[in-house]
Structure 1
């Protein structure tokens, strides 16, 4: 298996701190690699280096110059004042430019026929019709329809989907994807899984979505403390092997600590100048000391903040209705929340999930209906957009703005600094500026601020975006033990399965369906309904055929049967004649070709209909 791209002796620093040094990594053709590691480990930086977005401070990236890399950034950038069409269709790709010209021309009220004829011929010559269909399918799946729309009018989620669409259209030799499932609904994620696993695509991606990771990737590379560890297998295999490695590391760490203690005693006993025979031992001591410093105890985020008391009445929604610009978002929805409710909010993008959450939390008054909130209900709302932090503010000051001291679940009161430490923000980061945090660390800080409010009604809108898998595991552990109400909006199917036992499904056109069960159970239910419908249709057809075969043709049916045979023969002759005329038509005569093609298509449809009826009568 050939290596398409490799990092040799790679080293890079961020804000004067080395993320990694002397790092080596190779990616082979057809390998689908997931890069995992805690927030701030340097995953996004490593991906940008491999995608040649900037040069490393040390080492080099080795690849064939002709190898094309497609990179999806967490927050993609676009040319100023450009349209979707300008961005999607590459000027270097002849087929794409022809398709762009054709799409723009047919959108005109009175298209130039000469230009249409020329484009029709060129598109046929370059075999671009199938490619055009493929491009339209990808754009449609990503919810991109207005090709002349300016990119600067798009939301952050729309921009991410646009960048992903362009990448799928270009189909590079190497895909480098930073959180590709962010801002995608579950149906689109499942479609993307099929696209990425079709053919021998080569991938390097960062994702928090464990189902996506397992379904797409065949190799996992962990980036930890500046080193990489590769595992050929799925996520469960990775966890097993990582646990074995950490157990071995712990044993080595304890051994080093004991040895360091002995060597430290030796160093203290001999403060005078030492002879040359002791120099090697001194150097070994300093090396061992450095290794022991680097190997910190395994830290984990600890989420155990106090929850506010919850009364009998929590929240009641009575006949809620909401529309925007004449579009029905919520038709007529009622629900009484009960203690222990764990609800997953599902639906395609734009079906009204955020609208329902804003009504629940009182941020939006519905057009019709009543929202009755219990006196003791305390919301904690983690919004998808995150918080707007002052990049020049210190991390600890952001937390202290809410409270100097925080009460934990066990009744203990701790300082803001101690709580930050529990959330894996060491003193150095606490007193550093927000701008030095990674995207995932900012999300973790946002989550911490939400939980500091001691909520008993927790709403998490896409909490998994940009969080590392270790933090997600701890978040799951916290949510499993959270005694309050939980509403979870997530495209992470694993999280929905684990955390919810009921779904509110936004079906569109104002319909909100309540399903008792988690996401996988809902999908299984849909599949069973499809299978049952298919079986019923087949059974009905068999009954109809059996009933038909038991009857003889009536006189009227005999006349119809005879007429069908005549019509079929006549129409087949027409097809032959029109096909010959089409073949002899001047290729530049686009209008004539179009007319003949449409006539042939209509006659073919008539033949198909007549043939079905002829076969039905012949069986009698």
Structure 2
């Protein structure tokens, strides 16, 4: 059944058309991911759906009495309330029912009035229906899962990131039938994103969401809507299948554009010859040429960001050495970190918010002194810092001046490059060069910040949540840049796909420690999983060894021999399985489907053999 129907809808701001005669059906249980460049109209679409703004023309039909909730990029909350009161207020009817029930229960102590008993029963029935008896516990659980550590903190004192978490908690608690989420993973750490992902998977309603997190998009969406050049392009399936169909569509568009270009040349050449021969142009040929030109211009191509990032100087032997480092403010957020950064290495930093990730970057950048330990940098190490609050940008200066101090050229490897061409490669137009940074969107500020890093030519880049304000095309371009970068980088990010693509090491912050793992995010998860499995197996073996032995049975020589063989085989399998799992996660295996299938089958067989071996080992252990 359709919840929302949009027909021939147009929306403009001044003389700029954002959406032009778009059509969209949103049905019950749809999980729609919305993608597109920043500024193409994704947030405008959301505001039109919830009736926050009016369309210029067209219609939006909403199913009667459908409850709708939205998470804005910039939350709209009461700054005077506490976080917990803000969330509980979204359950106004349930809170009101509990207050009324308290009054009625008090009155019934001295007077068992039939009307009061009926009202009490009615409230009990309502709370049963909406699962309203444990709402306070539910509120605290959601706040905890979203890492809101002080539920009593006043909203007005919170950071933008924490405000967004409160707004998200408010929305999830309310559970409307239709949810709109505008960048829900921004400012969430990886653990909170994993929890939100699981919550949305079990959510029974419909939701529409914009996100740059491609794992989040791929795992949740059953339909993708692309907003491009004032139009909506719909695709059934997840993000991976959308990319495949988009590639086919763009290839077809390119072929059609080339064909039209040839036809236009033929028409123009005919018109030129016609003028020479007759002195006049046939009007119908002029019309045909104009129609072909209009058709070619109507074919959309997303201009890809083409950028190269090279360090202005190569490394010496030492890039970065961290020895026994403890960092924090009044007290340490993390302790005893030892780490050496190698040439051409990209290190991802993950962990809960407020646990010391940004603190580490500030210590490396010499903005903050370490509490203990030291950070050694090589003589040729030059640092460039991308701050999540764009602290490297002067909000009052223009795009051009922020990029390279207003100079026309920047120099890399003794070569001169034009700053205006660099900015154009980041999709800025010449009319944007003079704009003040304070007047730009978050995504535009992020692109200016990246451009300034390239112009600076640093060989060690520090990134603090670089993906928060980037659209997918810019994010993909940044990945390509970093993979081809001849320097090193340390990156704090919650974007799991981004880490899988570029990182060769992960530093995980937890409980005051920072542990280093080799490999990308998927390999880090594999290491964590292996550690948990080993702990569980060790516990199981200890429990088996501690089991009381049977006094009525004795093992035969054959059973004793089998027992020893099984012990040896269990040890072999426990060594084989982690190595096999790691091989299965490698990029080479991804590219070889036959090998991947063979390894998956072998992994399944080994796990089954290990389970059967341990079960038989346990049976034989009872005989000794």
Deviation at 1:399, TM superposition (A): 2.9
Match of 1:403 among 403, 407, 410: 407
Normalising by structure 2, report the TM-score.
0.78
The answer for the alignment partner of 1:37 in structure 2 is 36
> Residues 310-459 of structure 1: matches in 2 within 5 Å?
310-325=315-330, 327-387=331-391, 394-401=398-405, 403-408=407-412, 412-431=415-434, 434=437, 437-459=440-462
1:360-404 deviation digits (Å, cap 9, x = unpaired) = 111101122222222211111111122486777653344353532
The answer for the alignment partner of 1:578 in structure 2 is none
CA contact (8 A) 1:359 1:365 kept: yes
The answer for the alignment partner of 2:526 in structure 1 is 524
CA contact (8 A) 2:19 2:231 kept: yes
Deviation at 1:197, TM superposition (A): 1.2
CA distance in 2, matches of 1:357, 1:438: 25
Which moved further from structure 2: 460-469 or 76-85?
76-85
Normalising by structure 1, report the TM-score.
0.79
Match of 1:208 among 196, 202, 212: 212
> Residues 50-199 of structure 1: matches in 2 within 5 Å?
50-90=49-89, 93-97=92-96, 126-127=127-128, 128-199=132-203
Q: What's the secondary structure of 2:17's corresponding residue?
A: strand
CA distance in 2, matches of 1:378, 1:144: 37
Q: What's the secondary structure of 2:456's corresponding residue?
A: coil
CA distance in 2, matches of 1:398, 1:489: 23
CA contact (8 A) 1:504 1:515 kept: yes
Q: What's the secondary structure of 1:129's corresponding residue?
A: coil
Change (3 A) 1:365 1:200: same
The answer for the alignment partner of 2:500 in structure 1 is 497
CA distance in 1, matches of 2:53, 2:350: 39
CA distance in 2, matches of 1:359, 1:206: 34
CA contact (8 A) 1:40 1:437 kept: no
Q: What's the secondary structure of 2:381's corresponding residue?
A: coil
Q: Report how many aligned residue pairs link the two structures.
A: 535
Structure 2 residue 253 is matched with structure 1 residue 237: no
Change (3 A) 1:358 1:97: farther
Match of 1:248 among 249, 252, 255: 252
The answer for the alignment partner of 2:306 in structure 1 is 302
Change (3 A) 1:100 1:521: farther
Q: What's the secondary structure of 1:504's corresponding residue?
A: strand
Tell me, which stretches of 5 or more residues in structure 2 are unaligned? 110-115, 554-624
Change (3 A) 1:17 1:387: farther
Q: What's the secondary structure of 1:351's corresponding residue?
A: coil
The answer for the alignment partner of 2:516 in structure 1 is 514
Tell me, which stretches of 5 or more residues in structure 1 are unaligned? 106-112, 552-620
CA contact (8 A) 2:350 2:506 kept: yes
1:230-268 deviation digits (Å, cap 9, x = unpaired) = 121222211111111111111111122222233334555
> Residues 255-274 of structure 1: matches in 2 within 5 Å?
255-267=259-271
Aligned-CA RMSD value: 3.2
